Chains A and B, each alone.
Chain A
């Protein structure tokens, strides 16, 4: 059965059923384009689904700031979805540009109350997503204790230390970027582009990956696989 394949013939085919009101995890550290599924994001703009909840590390800061973008490149981020009025809410740890003088698409919309924000510390965001994919409904963490993020959260003292309760995050879809994938969805990421990719893979109902290289099943050494195929539903070839 090695002919079994999750490969879709185009980006459009892989994402065309994403409906309005979906929650979507979109990877990328956000400090530059590494790990960002740019073709899937462009495809999502084309199909135009509205009222989306986007879960990611940033709310799209690379296009406005140029952070991590090579000169002359045409890298994009989720700002194009915000500009297209497709996003109602962002869940992120680093939503705005480091400098207040640079306004991203998100911050413009946020300042006009056109978009909601749920701000989450980066480690809590990663762990909430990990928990979502691992069947853990909630967990206690020391991060954020006594800050304004702890307001209205349950807290508990364990071994004389205070912790707050954080709930798992799941999504309808996850959009990932990998360096290599075989036809059943065993993935390898490159360098720091693994970041949220490998965590989000397990936390969505339907996980879609764009991969720079697509290999025959069996071509990747089992020891070298970062994300096992169980988490991947659809694969498309990434193009520059």
Chain B
């Protein structure tokens, strides 16, 4: 289910005018998903800008970055999820060096 919502999220990132109606529909579907998640205590892990925490995040790659401190999440490629505080999928992130 998490996989589906993540895919919907990517899908809803579309700005094309012609598909706006579909876009809205997708967005609403996504929203109903997220509401459902909250009901079951599933929380999204979206750690952009936070220090990298391997308990919750999976490092996908590292990148030199002068702007922020080393070991900071500079991009979230895919959100992670926790169920009752336990990781069911780690967030996939890019970490600064």
Is chain B found bound to chain A in the same assembly?
no
Contacts from A to B (Cβ < 8 Å)? none
